């Protein structure tokens, strides 16, 4: 294999640039040409790619976002779109791909490989940390640190006014960010997509003597929990006239910012091994780190198998919130 491509797809995550940097430098060390594909699969279809040198990835390890940019491509979801993308890869002599992204990016890579024989290796890049086959995905550590920092600032206002703050974090289908943010910020309640929470039960908890003496309460809500977002839960709490409630939505702040040291190291490790794996003939697999060991998981498993927060951590969070 003499020429490979690298792309970032789906939602951006802090640490993607560190992964691109590691992929480029590893490929060049192995005397393999590497092309950066701009705007994910959309750029692949349109031929928006160029060869990358070491100088192109200098001074990017600390930057958030992705220098390759990212986009969602409806056309790539079709066989015709993937056919066009493959022809572009053929024209440029690209024999393998390193795909940095989440479930949607993995799905696209798998179909491209199965239909056209191009070798692909995935790297988990998503703040949601919901990719099966790795303990942590690139961007997760930075996202929860950003969220906890924001909650700590809100805590000052909540304390000053003796209020309940309902704080919404990202996580349409995954509660990892909410769970870790809740534990890290000492929240009184955490609402996750993976667990059914009763608003009435939570209100009863607030009325307990142990709660009445508490000056304030912080409630962390994953946007995808069944009770709704921060505003919906706050409206339910406000039905109890004795409860003074405010809301905050942290939103896309969690995706931005300079990646943490952990995310930079993780991204570098996964991208390094992704390129080596590709050159060794691995295909339709994704790199990951489990118990500090680098592993390769079939992409179909990464897509189809569910990764949910550990039940013991959820139980711990409930006990610590009492």
What is the set of active-site residues?
A: 128
Question: What is the rounded CA–CA span in Å between residue 56 and residue 23?
Answer: 12
Intra-chain end-to-end CA distance of the chain, in Å: 57
Q: Quick check: 70 and 90 in contact, CB under 8 A?
A: no
Question: What is the rounded CA–CA span in Å between residue 11 and residue 214?
Answer: 39
Q: Of 19, 6, 7, which is closest to residue 273 (Cα–Cα)? A: 19
Helix boundaries (H) for the chain: 16-29, 40-46, 79-91, 103-116, 140-161, 176-185, 199-207, 209-212, 230-238, 261-279, 299-304, 311-320
b or e along 272-283 (b: 16 or more beta carbons within 10 Å of the residue's beta carbon)?
A: bbbbbbbbeebb
What's phi and psi for 50, nearest 5 deg? -155, 155
Question: What is the rounded CA–CA span in Å between residue 30 and residue 276?
Answer: 9
């Amino acid at each position: 294999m003499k020429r490979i491509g690298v792309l970032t797809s789906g939602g951006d995550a802090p640490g993607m640039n560190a992964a691109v940097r590691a992929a480029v430098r590893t490929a060049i060390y192995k005397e393999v040409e590497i092309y950066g594909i701009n705007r994910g699969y959309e750029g692949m279809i349109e031929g928006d790619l160029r060869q990358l040198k070491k100088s192109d990835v200098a001074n990017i390890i600390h930057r958030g976002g992705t220098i390759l940019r990212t986009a969602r491509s409806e056309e790539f979801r079709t066989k015709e779109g993937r056919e066009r993308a493959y022809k572009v890869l053929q024209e440029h002599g690209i024999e393998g791909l390193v795909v940095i992204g989440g479930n949607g990016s993995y799905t696209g890579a798998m179909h491209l490989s199965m239909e056209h024989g191009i070798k692909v290796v995935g790297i988990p890049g998503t703040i949601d940390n919901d990719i099966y086959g790795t303990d942590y995905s690139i961007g997760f550590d930075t996202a929860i640190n950003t969220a906890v920092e924001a909650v700590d600032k809100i805590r000052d206002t909540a304390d000053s006014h003796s209020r309940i703050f309902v704080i919404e974090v990202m996580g349409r289908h995954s509660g990892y960010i909410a769970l870790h943010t809740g534990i890290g910020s000492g929240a009184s309640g955490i609402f996750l997509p993976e667990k059914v929470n009763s608003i009435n039960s939570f209100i009863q908890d607030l009325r307990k003597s142990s709660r009445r003496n508490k000056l304030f309460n912080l409630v962390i809500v994953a946007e995808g929990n069944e009770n709704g977002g921060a505003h919906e839960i706050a409206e339910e709490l406000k039905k109890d006239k004795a409860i003074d409630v405010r809301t905050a939505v942290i939103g896309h702040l969690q995706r931005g910012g300079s990646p943490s040291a952990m995310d930079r190291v993780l991204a570098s490790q996964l991208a390094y091994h992704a390129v080596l794996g590709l050159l060794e003939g691995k295909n339709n697999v994704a790199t990951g780190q489990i118990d500090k060991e680098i592993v390769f998981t079939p992409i179909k498993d990464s897509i189809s198998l569910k990764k949910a927060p550990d039940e013991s951590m959820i139980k711990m969070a409930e006990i610590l919130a009492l």
